[in-house]
Amino acid sequence: MRTDSSPGSLPAREHLPAAAAGTPVLDVVVPVHNEERDLKPCVWRLHEHLTRTFPYAFRITVADNASTDGTPHVAARLAADLAAVRSVRLEQKGRGRALRTVWSASDAPVLAYMDVDLSTDLNALLPLVAPLISGHSDLAIGSRLARSSRVVRGAKREFISRAYNLILRGSLQARFSDAQCGFKAIRRDVAQVLLPLVEDTGWFFDTEMLVLAERAGCRIHEVPVDWVDDPDSTVHIVHTAAEDLKGVWRVGKALATGSLPLDRLARPFGDDPRDRDLTGVPQGLARQLVGFCVVGALSTLFYLLLYSGFRHFAGSQLANALALLVSAVANTAANRRLTFGVRGRGGAVRHQAQGLVVFGIGLALTSGSLAALSAATTDPGHSTELAVLIAANLAATVLRFLLFRAWVFPDPQPAAPSPQPHLPEPHLPEPHLPDPQRTWSDAR
């Protein structure tokens, strides 16, 4: 995964201002590779639909990625015949590469793409981009798996699509329903921050972008679509599925190791009450408690297994100390990442050192309980030792959570705003708004 650049903060969601006449609000990219037969009817149909139904200026960009047939000539002819169409030629193949290149250079505030076969009904295009224009959402995707979607396709493709999305939900905790539908849109300001983090240049580009967007806190809007399978599709299902699974493994590994700088994508939302700083109210306490309990249960099981193993060749005190030390290191690492959401390697050594201090307190509690048991009984049974240790660990667990939350992983305190000098309000002239009728005419 790319970690060599700092992407910066995501922008706050705001309604897009009215664009000047001739400035496209929407840039629809049609990535193509050897599509000389389908390209012309696709672009003409899309252009006619946008001219008739879309209330803003638009642009259609044909992104030809290394076609070897007559696709470049067809694209150039379309750009010459239609003022709202342009053609971009890339000498390297890859749908993701084509989208990244065009989206990165576009001046339109809303960027979209669709497959050249137009399997998705175009009536879903305006509902797709409207939440992005209004500032409600950051990305929008067409979903063939929504309950109200109407889809016509073979059983094999249906099975593959649903299986793939189940894999995403199970491995990457994705919450969106359809990663592969070729019908998506994103705000340009969000794309400028996310695209440098997306590594894939092929078919997995969509999935990787959506997973990173979701992990960064972006809002993804889903639109049910009507979709009819293209029987002449040139997509190689087996090869694409293999590449997608490789991408899932790569992204999952990067997220697990914290090598993705998603912590730098803090969004200044300001419009969601859940994101407001409330004095005296702990942030994320319920979620942290659940995560800590899950990690604690697994750590206790791990500790007991280690203790039982060490007990075969060591005394109870040494076996307890070794088992607690190993499980404490694992417990601190798991709570750091899963419970308190600390990503990256910054401060990891300090957190482990503080975790060892907490471990020392737990060791004192459990060792003290063993010492008390030995004083009370000359030859305690193994099951009695385990019962005493479980009780002592429960007490140590409560104390560990309090220390983790208040000392090891405290909530960051917002910086106090610096006082701003009072300046007189400048007198601004009345804004000149473009004539709506003229803007509509130019859009047509």
For the annotated catalytic residues, the residue numbers are: 206
3-class DSSP assignment, residue 120: strand
Q: For the packed helices 39-53 and 71-81, what is the interaxial angle rounded to 10 degrees? A: 30
Spatial distance between the Cα atoms of 195 and 39, rounded to a whole number of angstroms: 26
Neighbour-count burial of 382, counting CB atoms closer than 10 A to its CB (0-12 exposed, 13-18 middle, 19+ buried): exposed
CA-to-CA separations, 284 to 49, 141, 292, 411, in angstroms, rounded: 46, 29, 12, 9
Written as one letter, the residue type at 177 is S
Residue 227: which of 174, 164, 165, 158 has the closest Cα? 158
CA atoms within 13 A on the CB side of 1: 26
Spatial distance between the Cα atoms of 241 and 164, rounded to a whole number of angstroms: 8
Query: Quick one: tokens of 409?
Result: 């992983």
Query: Quick one: tokens of 396?
Result: 């140590």
Spatial distance between the Cα atoms of 18 and 15, rounded to a whole number of angstroms: 9
Q: What are phi and psi of 5, to 5 degrees?
A: -140, 145
| Residue 73 DSSP symbol | H
11: number of Cβ within 10 Å: 15
237: number of Cβ within 10 Å: 11
CA-to-CA separations, 359 to 330, 331, 338, 396, in angstroms, rounded: 11, 10, 19, 9
Written as one letter, the residue type at 149 is S
Spatial distance between the Cα atoms of 317 and 336, rounded to a whole number of angstroms: 28
36: number of Cβ within 10 Å: 15
